[in-house]
């Protein structure tokens, strides 16, 4: 995580008005307690009303005012175009996140710039073979949590197989969604179309291993 992103996350943690302990922040952000102390010193020096002390905790002693969004028309066009695409993905969580993001952006913009006014001359229609309902979100959750999946898969030739896979990456190719995974049956990397997964359920939890990670798959692609 970049330091700017970490500082933003620390600011967000203070917004609840409760006492925030440095140790809790360090665990949440995956850094050392010393790093958190340095970050809080930086925020305090920049004028944020943070009160407290090391070993006890910190809290806000006044409101935080962040600078308004400064997006030009081209940036807003790109943002709305991207969110229009995300809104059409077969993943309810991504759809809702896209809508919330646009709400936050529009709330900080002048009225004449808010809303999808930037897309008057463009429309987005994603033509694809959609995966089964919730399949994309199911695969995304499994990738994030390192859950192996037990899938029933129908190949292009109609052959049906039962496999346990370690999902590593979800990809969209303009027409279909695929999942690059380590296949326990083949003991190798394989790519599976999400719309051809007839059954899919959690099979367990796996620990990433050298030779079976997504970066290892990319090395095999580069070597071709």
pLDDT tens digits, one per residue of 142-190: 999 999 999 999 999 999 999 999 999 999 887 888 999 999 999 999 9
The residues of the chain that CATH labels 2.30.30 are 135-223
Domain 135-223: which topology? SH3 type barrels. (2.30.30)
CATH 1.10.10.10 residue ranges in the chain?
3-60
CATH of 3-60, one of 1.10.10.10, 1.10.730.10, 1.10.150.120, 1.25.40.10: 1.10.10.10
DSSP character at residue 55: T
Tell me, what's the pLDDT at 142? 96
Report pTM: 0.58
Long-range CB pairs of 152-155, under 8 A, 24+ apart, other chains included: 152/197, 152/198, 152/199, 152/200, 153/192, 153/196, 153/197, 153/198, 154/196, 154/198, 155/196
| Position 139 confidence tier, pLDDT thresholds 50, 70, 90 | very high
């Amino acid at each position: 995580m970049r330091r700017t992103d970490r500082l933003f996350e620390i600011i967000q943690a203070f917004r609840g008005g409760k006492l925030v302990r440095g140790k809790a922040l360090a665990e949440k952000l995956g850094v050392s307690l010393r790093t958190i102390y340095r970050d809080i010193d930086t925020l305090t020096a920049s004028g944020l009303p943070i009160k407290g002390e090391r070993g006890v905790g910190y809290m806000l002693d006044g409101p935080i005012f962040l600078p308004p969004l400064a997006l030009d028309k081209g940036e807003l066009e790109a943002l709305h175009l991207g969110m229009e695409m995300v809104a059409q993905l077969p993943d309810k969580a991504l759809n809702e996140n896209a809508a919330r993001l646009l709400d936050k952006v529009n709330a900080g913009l002048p009225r004449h710039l808010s809303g999808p006014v930037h897309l008057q001359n463009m429309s987005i229609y994603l033509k694809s073979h959609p995966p089964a309902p919730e399949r994309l979100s199911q695969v995304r959750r499994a990738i994030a949590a390192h859950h192996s999946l037990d899938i029933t898969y129908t190949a292009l030739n109609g052959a049906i197989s039962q496999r346990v896979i370690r999902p590593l990456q979800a990809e969209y190719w303009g027409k279909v969604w695929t999942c690059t995974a380590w296949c326990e049956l083949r003991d190798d990397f394989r790519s599976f179309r999400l719309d051809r997964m007839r059954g899919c359920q959690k099979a367990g939890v796996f620990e990433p291993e050298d030779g079976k990670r997504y970066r290892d798959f990319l090395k095999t692609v580069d070597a071709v």
